[in-house]
Structure 1
Amino acid sequence: MDRSDSPASLDGYVPFPEDRIAAYRDAGHWRDRTFHDVLDERSSEAPGSVAAVGPHRELTYGDLADRTRRLATALRSRGIEAGERVVFHLPNAVEFLEAFFACSRVGAIPVQALPRHREAELRHLFEQFDATAYVTAGDRYEMGVDFVELIDGLETEYPALETLIGVADDPATLPNGWHDFDALCGAEVDEGALDGIDVDPTQPGVMLLSGGTTGMPKGIPRTHNDYVFQWEHMADVAGVEDDWVAFPSVPIGHNASLNCVVGAAVWTGATVAVEPTLKPEALMDLVEREGGTYSLLIPTQLVDVLDHPERDDYDLSTLEVLVSGGQKVPPRVVRDAVEEWEVGFCNIFGMAEGPLVCTRPDDPVDVQAETVGRPIADAAELRIVDLDREEEVPRGSTGELAVRGPGYFTGYFRNDEENAENFDDDGWFYTEDVLARRDDGNYQVFGRIKNTIIRGGENIYAPGVEDVVAEHPAVANVAIVAMPDERLGERPCAFVELAEGATSLTLDELSDFLEEKGLAVFKRPERLEIMPELPRTEVGKLDKKRLEELAATNADENPE
Structure 2
Amino acid sequence: MTAVDARTPDTNPPERTRSTVSHHTRTGTVPWPDDVAAHYRSRGYWEDRTLGELLWEVADARPTQDAVVDGDVRLTYAELTARADAAAGRLRELGLEPDDRLLVQMPNGWEFIVLTLACFRAGVIPVMALPAHRRHELTHLASLSEARAVAVPRVLRDFDHERLAHELAAELPDLEHVLALGEAGELDPRSVPLAEVLAPGEDRASERAAADAMRPDPDSPACFLISGGTTGLPKLITRTHNDYACNLRATSATAGLTERDVYLGTLPASHNFPLACPGVLGTLLVGGRVVMLPSPSPVRAFATIEREGVTIAAAVPAVAQRWIEHQEEVGGTQTRTLRVLQVGGSRLPDEHAAKVEPVLGARLQQVFGMAEGLINTTRLDDPADVIVGTQGRPVHEADEVRILDPFGDDVPDGEPGAIYTRGPYTPRGYYNAPEHNERAFLPGGWYGSGDVVVRRTDGNLIVHGRDKDMVNRGGEKISAEEIEGLMYRLGDIKIAAAVSMPDPVLGERLCVYAVVKPGHRAPTLEDVREVFARAEVAGFKYPDRLEIVDQLPMTKVGKIDKRILREDIADRLQERREENAR
TM-score by length of 1: 0.79
User: For residues 497 and 264 of structure 1, do their structure 2 counterparts lie closer, same or farther at Cα, with a shift above 3 Å needed?
Assistant: closer
Output the CA distance in 1 between the equivalents of 2:442 and 2:290.
38
User: For residues 437 and 156 of structure 1, do their structure 2 counterparts lie closer, same or farther at Cα, with a shift above 3 Å needed?
Assistant: same
Output the CA distance in 2 between the equivalents of 1:290 and 1:209.
31
1:558 Cα deviation from its structure 2 partner: 10
| Contact in 2 for aligned 1:137/1:143 (Cα 8 Å) | no
Deviations 1:24-74 (A, max 9, x none): 111110012222112201111111111100025211111111110000000
1:63 aligns with 2:63: no
Deviations 1:162-218 (A, max 9, x none): 2221111x3201112321212123344545643442301112111111224773221
1:122 aligns with 2:138: yes
Output the CA distance in 2 between the equivalents of 1:198 and 1:342.
43
1:181 pairs, out of 186, 194, 209, with 194
User: For residues 559 and 324 of structure 1, do their structure 2 counterparts lie closer, same or farther at Cα, with a shift above 3 Å needed?
Assistant: closer
Output the CA distance in 1 between the equivalents of 2:571 and 2:356.
40
Name the residue aligned to 1:218.
235
1:365 pairs, out of 365, 384, 399, with 384
Output the CA distance in 2 between the equivalents of 1:130 and 1:452.
26
| Contact in 2 for aligned 1:248/1:274 (Cα 8 Å) | yes
User: For residues 197 and 549 of structure 1, do their structure 2 counterparts lie closer, same or farther at Cα, with a shift above 3 Å needed?
Assistant: farther
Deviations 1:286-305 (A, max 9, x none): 21221111111000101111
1:292 aligns with 2:306: no
Name the residue aligned to 2:396.
377
Instruction: Please list every run of 5 or more consecutive structure 1 residues that lacks an aligned counterpart in the other structure.
Output: 1-7, 454-461, 464-480, 482-490, 499-537
Structure 1 runs of 4+ off > 4 angstroms? 187-193, 491-498, 538-541, 543-560
TM-score by length of 2: 0.76
Name the residue aligned to 1:409.
427
CA RMSD of aligned residues (A): 3.2
| Contact in 1 for aligned 2:227/2:236 (Cα 8 Å) | yes
Name the residue aligned to 2:59.
43
Letter in 2 for 1:239: G
Output the CA distance in 2 between the equivalents of 1:360 and 1:443.
13
1:251 aligns with 2:264: no
1:34 pairs, out of 50, 53, 69, with 50
Q: Name the SS of the counterpart of 1:434 in structure 2.
A: strand
User: For residues 67 and 493 of structure 1, do their structure 2 counterparts lie closer, same or farther at Cα, with a shift above 3 Å needed?
Assistant: closer
Output the CA distance in 2 between the equivalents of 1:304 and 1:239.
25
Q: Name the SS of the counterpart of 1:348 in structure 2.
A: strand
User: For residues 124 and 417 of structure 1, do their structure 2 counterparts lie closer, same or farther at Cα, with a shift above 3 Å needed?
Assistant: same
Letter in 1 for 2:429: G
1:166 aligns with 2:185: no
Name the residue aligned to 1:502.
none
Per mean C-alpha deviation after superposition, the further-off stretch among 25-34 and 274-283 is 274-283
Name the residue aligned to 2:368.
349
Output the CA distance in 2 between the equivalents of 1:558 and 1:289.
42
Letter in 2 for 1:315: Q
| Contact in 1 for aligned 2:121/2:216 (Cα 8 Å) | yes
| Contact in 2 for aligned 1:371/1:442 (Cα 8 Å) | yes
Output the CA distance in 1 between the equivalents of 2:265 and 2:381.
22
1:20 Cα deviation from its structure 2 partner: 1.7
Name the residue aligned to 1:323.
342
Letter in 2 for 1:336: K
| Contact in 2 for aligned 1:346/1:361 (Cα 8 Å) | yes
Letter in 1 for 2:82: D
Deviations 1:400-421 (A, max 9, x none): 1111110112211122222000
1:311 Cα deviation from its structure 2 partner: 4.0
1:242 aligns with 2:279: no
1:279 Cα deviation from its structure 2 partner: 2.3
Instruction: Please list every run of 5 or more consecutive structure 2 residues that lacks an aligned counterpart in the other structure.
Output: 1-23, 474-479, 481-498, 507-536, 549-564, 576-582
1:333 aligns with 2:349: no
